[in-house]
Structure 1
């Protein structure tokens, strides 16, 4: 591993109706001399990464904050993206406002790596800005992040189709499709659900918003798309 670290930062000003939020996006290529680091620099780049972080941030604000109320947002003023190697072989992991993108994922990506990188970045940036109550099902948290990818048209090929899956909180693409169904029943459902999750989570939020239990919604969802399963 190279000991030479490339680090760049830039401040983007995200204009919102009730003012301007200044968020600092920082990108550090920790493994610049490795195959993954080299591919990142040649086919993606720091400038593109920072630009997309700002674009994605604004997309998430719009998707999860339909009322444009800063008090409803998880406060962040800094997001750090590392290009690094992951011991657990994940494409990326996020903790707080720090995102680690795997150079192995970048190195081995088959196809347009910039598109794949951006798709993962939509998912991970959602974790930075969504509410994360400790009692929320992990499958719902991951499903909401995949839902962002879905709405941004960065849903990877081969992912779940409407009606797929075994449970509503299975996570990732399956839960994203279920949330898409709930959104079809109530405009801005995901934004309202995220708002309710500011301090804690409860299954009754589905009933509060749509008037049906999450289990009933799941059953009706499966019934609607049973021809696709």
Structure 2
């Protein structure tokens, strides 16, 4: 019985699962396998391939409908094989990375060593919100600064309420293009001036990027936006958060 159970787990671990939700196929592979502690945690704690496919569909629809508001096929990227791929891999150098046009590697080493306030399943889901944003967002055909691209991805986890305890508060940061949670918070502020700012900004950077897009959307140049944003949160302890 034990050997049969191991065979079934191994089969599930290395098999690909496909499900079509919103015309996108979700493909998940645990390439680290059950011999890797991170691969085992993926199966036993996170929920493995079935959970990942389920949550990928929910995240995909959230990004399309709420964050980027890409509501028609014409608004969206054409994905290779109409698919998004997630691989659990044995690598060091970060929690996860999106590569190519539609492939996400999640570090089994990171899953193995994760020991933070939020549980591992929550953290894994947060990672997917961030990385799947990279799959669907526009980046000006490579002209958009990477700090801005990462800011949009972190804005997604902010909007989805999947941001970690260490996520920077509103008003933190030394400069507008600091990236990640700093930039996500400034985008949140832009939303208060122009509702759905990020969705509008994403549409504008489909083919190119220019800093003047901020003024086009909000009516204020980016330098003034940053100045007003910082002035709105004078009580933030910048010496600790910058």
Task: Calculate the TM-score normalised by the size of structure 2.
Answer: 0.87
Q: Does 1:175 align with 2:183?
A: yes
- Correspondence for 2:97: 93
Aligned counterparts of 1:75 and 1:157: Cα–Cα separation in 2 = 35
**Deviation readout 1:135-157 (Å, 9 max, x if unpaired):** 11111000000000000010011
Aligned counterparts of 2:83 and 2:70: Cα–Cα separation in 1 = 23
Gaps of 5+ in 2: 1-9, 238-242
Within-5 A mapping of 1:51-130 = 51-66=54-69, 68-76=71-79, 77-87=82-92, 89-95=93-99, 96-110=101-115, 111-130=118-137
Is the 2:167–2:181 Cα contact (8 Å) retained in structure 1? yes
Is the 2:70–2:76 Cα contact (8 Å) retained in structure 1? no
Q: Which structure 1 residue ranges, 4+ long, deviate > 6 Å from structure 2?
A: none
Aligned counterparts of 2:90 and 2:177: Cα–Cα separation in 1 = 29
Is the 2:67–2:159 Cα contact (8 Å) retained in structure 1? no
Measured after TM superposition, the shift of residue 223 of structure 1 is 0.7
**Structure 1 residues 121 and 194: alpha-carbon distance in aligned structure 2, compared to 1, 3 A threshold:** same
Task: Calculate the TM-score normalised by the size of structure 1.
Answer: 0.91
Q: Does 1:155 align with 2:163?
A: yes
> Over alpha carbons, which structure has the higher Rg?
2
Is the 1:82–1:101 Cα contact (8 Å) retained in structure 2? yes
Aligned counterparts of 1:106 and 1:196: Cα–Cα separation in 2 = 36
SS at match of 2:161: coil
Measured after TM superposition, the shift of residue 23 of structure 1 is 0.9
**Structure 1 residues 174 and 65: alpha-carbon distance in aligned structure 2, compared to 1, 3 A threshold:** closer
Higher helix share: 2
Higher strand share: 1
Is the 1:64–1:192 Cα contact (8 Å) retained in structure 2? no
**Structure 1 residues 39 and 70: alpha-carbon distance in aligned structure 2, compared to 1, 3 A threshold:** same
Measured after TM superposition, the shift of residue 67 of structure 1 is 6.6
Aligned counterparts of 1:130 and 1:86: Cα–Cα separation in 2 = 25
